[in-house]
Structure 1
Amino acid sequence: MAIENDPIASSELETIFQGLRQRVVITKFTQTVKEYVKSSNPDIILMGLTFRDKKELEFVLELRRDVITQSIPILALIPKEDPTFKSNLKALGFTDFMVKPLFKQTLLDRIQSLIEEYKFSESSKTRDNVSFVIIDREHGKVLFQCRANLKRYVFPEFKKIFTPNFLKSLQGEYVGFDIRAVPDVGKEEVEVFERVVKIFVGMDRISIIAGRHMGAFIEHAQEDERIIVFMAPTEFDDYMKVEEQRKEDLRKKSKKEKTIPAGATVTEKEQPETTPVPEVENKEVVETKKEENG
């Protein structure tokens, strides 16, 4: 279900969803929408935001307070990047966000991924009210919290979670496994984790928040170049900040290099404007003139 007041954005969504097998309802933000959401019980809600009407955010918080709609994934569609919104995403009741304009395949992949996470989470709740893997997803980061014996309970769940669509949606994200609540980790569990890591194709390193199990990875891990182990979540967060800063520095450096004209050097480009000095063959002549002028 998509809620979008902007007629242009609404038309774009209609084009994106045209021809799909799934039934998609696109509607405007009205007072009757909440009751419709409760009666239709959609797999996901796409919420177009303007940041001009506080009722949009109040509506989402109201959905989160209702037992029927509290777990439905809500994907915010925002008009521009907003750091404040990003940092308060979860508190405002949203599951994830995307910035307009939307690209068809990227949007469809994100929707599919969020629906799969939601259905897996719901099925886990109905299985003796025990969830062996909790997926905590924020923009740019996905953390899998493992809460039971890895070999017996958690690894079988991974087979259900890591579908091709879900793995595709993780490209460019920081992926971590929090195993601090796992009762015991030995050589067998470490070996299986190393096999799990290999399915994340195209990603540099996968993070493990190991806590007291850190020694097991230090002793038994063979895939040192693919796994990075932390004691606590704060270390994982610090690592992400450092990596983001490193990437930002590389982007700035690349952008700077592209702006330099062909054949020019950085020094030439950055020199302040001065009175042109006639070209001469002998460098000493130029230096002599400078001394005379000084």
Structure 2
Amino acid sequence: MKTAFPSLAAIEAAHERIQPFIHRTPILTSSAINEITGCEIYFKCENFQKVGAFKARGAANAVMKLTDAQKSKGVATHSSGNHAAALARAARVAGIPAYIVMPSNAPDVKKKAVKGYGGEIIECEPNLKSRESTLEAVVEKTGASFIPPFDYMDVIEGQATCALEFLEDQENLDMIMAPVGGGGLLAGTALVANYLNPSIEVIAAEPKGADDAFQSFHAGRRIPQAEPNTIADGLLTSLGELNFGLIKEYVSDILLASDPEIIEAMRMIFERMKIVVEPSCAVPLAALMANQDKFRGKKVGVILSGGNVDLGKLPF
């Protein structure tokens, strides 16, 4: 099983491959937040990434790895958010069509982004069955290649480039934190940390209202998400199978945060750091603040996953 995971060389090659598509995002610190939390936090700002989220990395890598024949028929996916915009943009840069199945209740800011990148939106009912059957019909009709949002090695390999940059630019971290929904970012982060510095503790953060990864991690088997309910709309999906294999192997813990804690952390990032983050992005800081003893005195890397928040509906 392990041999199927991307090697360090493959992740480095992916980083090279996606250069035209991405920013090397900055690492920011806040002395005020360090004081409040009792540790040194280094924030890797993927909210400044193209399309406003780390998803730009995995989508670009997957698109660039297609054959010319596959590219000519375009790409398709189902996504309620950042992967949708990331794939639409990667397709536009590659000059190919993108067909994006989105649930009718997806945030307007994310629908606008997909349209802005030239993606064709096909709406469906807001449940997984409808998303999958609608996507199947689209793929059958167009011949487009399905690029899954997270449970796909080319996507995991692309998301891993975020941690690759992080650990190259910020040495001596004791811990690295990422949010977990489908698990593509977390799996890629855990893999890179294992390659570059196995002594780094990789810790995931998840909303209490969508805690399937937490449950799966502790049960040792995947437990699908059942009726998730959280403000962190980017983390509503069930953990992917490939990702779970990596997470079981290389992640040391998954911590939870309640919606009020997520909102408080989100507000703190807005107020103290003057940067825009979406609720899902604030989950690691929220989980850290809810478990401060675990982090006291440590150097902690936190991946800020994205900044695509509807500014008309801020929770504070």
| Larger Cα-atom Rg | 1
TM-score (norm 1): 0.28
Return the structure number with greater helix share.
2
**Higher RCO, Cα 8 Å, sep 6+:** 2
